[in-house]
Amino acid sequence: MGKSVLQIKNLSKNVGKKSIVRNINFEVNQGEVFGLLGPNGAGKTTIIRAIVSLISRTSGTVLINGIDVSVDFKGTISEVGAIIENPEFYMYMSGWANLQQFTRMSRKSISEERMKEIVARVKLTDAIQQKVKTYSLGMRQRLGLAQALVHQPAILILDEPTNGLDPQGMAEFRDIIREVSAQGTAVLISSHLLSEIQQITDRFAIIEKGELTHIETMSDLMNEAHAKYLLKVSKAAEAVRLLAAMEVEAVATDDQHLEVLMTEAQVPLVVKELVARDLAIFAVTAKTGSLEERFFELTEGGSL
């Protein structure tokens, strides 16, 4: 695992007497895509705004590359690229002019070569000289990404980045994020869309009612779920009894269907045993893990 780029320690935010987020702890490593997942109103945007100091923290510490944001705000924040809500542009200017305007405000000096390289990475080379008012939502979002990445930040922070994008726009966006993380940039992304988090993140945290309830790696989730198989057999209750004798956990969902927890290597042994006991097997299906199931499991059916 790469070095820690962002560390959040005991972050809390109160507004008046109301606690919005409580005691949030997580870190994002170099080259990692980390997802904050939770329903609207769970506190994801509050956490992100508190990280970049758009709102004050009631308590807690934010470290970027090991340096406290409160101690060196300018230095640490120059290592952050962010899109929070929709990126804003001068609509009457070209994409290139907007990017130039943005780079003039950067504390780092940014060459024209770097600008061209980032425009190519976000796939806007053909449209960069056109006025932004002619851009589709997806193109504007990619120009926002170019702004967030042009100063080579250590971490990219995105709050609900694909809101309003069509499926093609979302796919293009995901490709760019993967490319960026593959080159070593840490990425923190918030979303209420389970499918999006599932397709793009290495690890994810579930935020529920202002608390971080769970952190899990996506690979663990997928591997864990692969241990669950759905079987269609002639007598499900009988099959459950036989499997219990083999110390294999199984649950009948109706007369003919059961869910079995086993490794891939156990599948042929289980099938062989059931057939030997005169049970007909009509289907064996590996149940791929979906984040949705995990989310409902962890939040006890909480809705998104």
Q: What integer is the mean pLDDT of 144-154? A: 93
**Three-point CA angle 126, 130, 135, nearest 5°:** 90
CB 98 within 8 A of CB 104: no
pLDDT, tens only, 153-175: 999 999 988 877 888 888 888 99
What is the predicted pLDDT for the residue at 36?
93
What is the predicted pLDDT for the residue at 304?
45
Q: What integer is the mean pLDDT of 252-279? A: 87
What is the predicted pLDDT for the residue at 296?
66
Q: What is the mean pLDDT of the chain?
A: 87
What is the predicted pLDDT for the residue at 302?
46
CA-nearest of 227, 83, 95 to 149 is 83
User: Which domain range does residue 280 map to?
Assistant: 227-287
One domain, residues 133 and 276:
no
One domain, residues 132 and 103:
yes
One domain, residues 132 and 25:
yes
One domain, residues 20 and 142:
yes
One domain, residues 232 and 196:
no
One domain, residues 191 and 246:
no
* pLDDT > 50? residue 303: no
One domain, residues 9 and 95:
yes
Whether 299 is in a domain gets the answer: no
Class of residue 288 by CB neighbours under 10 A (exposed 0-12, middle 13-18, buried 19+)? exposed
Report the share of the chain in percent with pLDDT over 70: 92
CB 201 within 8 A of CB 177: no
CB 214 within 8 A of CB 38: no
Q: What integer is the mean pLDDT of 259-285? A: 88
What is the predicted pLDDT for the residue at 126?
94
pLDDT, tens only, 47-102: 999 999 889 999 999 999 999 999 999 999 999 999 887 788 999 999 999 999 98
CATH number (domain holding residue 183): 3.40.50.300
* pLDDT > 60? residue 265: yes
**Number of domains observed in the structure of the chain:** 2
